[in-house]
Amino acid sequence: PSRSFHGNTRLLTSQIISYYESINQCKKELPEYFNFASDVLDEWARLEKDGRKAANPAFWWVSDEGEEVKWSFEELGSLSRKAANALSEGCALQRGDRVIAVLPRVPEWWLLSVACMRAGIVFIPGTSQLTAKDISYRLQASKAKCIITNDTLAAALESVLPSSQFLKSKLIVGRGSRDGWLNLKELL
């Protein structure tokens, strides 16, 4: 039996395997193009708005200090559209371009991840534990056109950024500002 969690019935492992087997046997039609943000997130937002799905948080983040950020499916959809526009227009990124995010797991990390999916931009996550050499290598190997970090880590990254021939824009997440960097909150 399946159990209920936030009003949604969870699939059993056997049901998931059966679903994938039906795909492999060409019994299910696969879409030519699939985009998680528009095909899943926006659909759940529509169901929620129409009252056909219980309103539950799509995203719920709690900091070490107890600060909470909760977004409904509609809010996450709207914010991710704004963030996708900020990346496309403010950072001049196009479908297929790559961005490296060197961020702690703050809400904007997930927001930018969904925004990249929505815009067709390749999101390359990086941990704040990466060294300058690690970041330099990733910038060159990926040909990333944008780097995203917070105001605390930006100073440490700046030493390696001039050597990246592909980098077009630098984006800061947070309240701080830095010369030559765009600020996500301002772009939103």
Express each pLDDT in 152-182 by its tens digit.
899 888 888 888 889 999 999 988 788 999 9
Q: Is the pLDDT assigned to residue 48 strictly greater than 50?
A: yes
pLDDT higher than 50, residue 6: no
Neighbouring-strand partners of residue 169: 146
Average pLDDT, integer, range 16-31: 67
Average pLDDT, rounded, for the chain: 87
How far apart CA 54 and CA 111 sit, in angstroms, is 22
Domains of the chain (ranges, CATH numbers)? 87-186 (3.40.50.980)
CA angle centred on 78, ends 77 and 84, rounded to 5°: 85
**CA 15 from chain center: how many Å?**
28
Whole-prediction pTM: 0.81
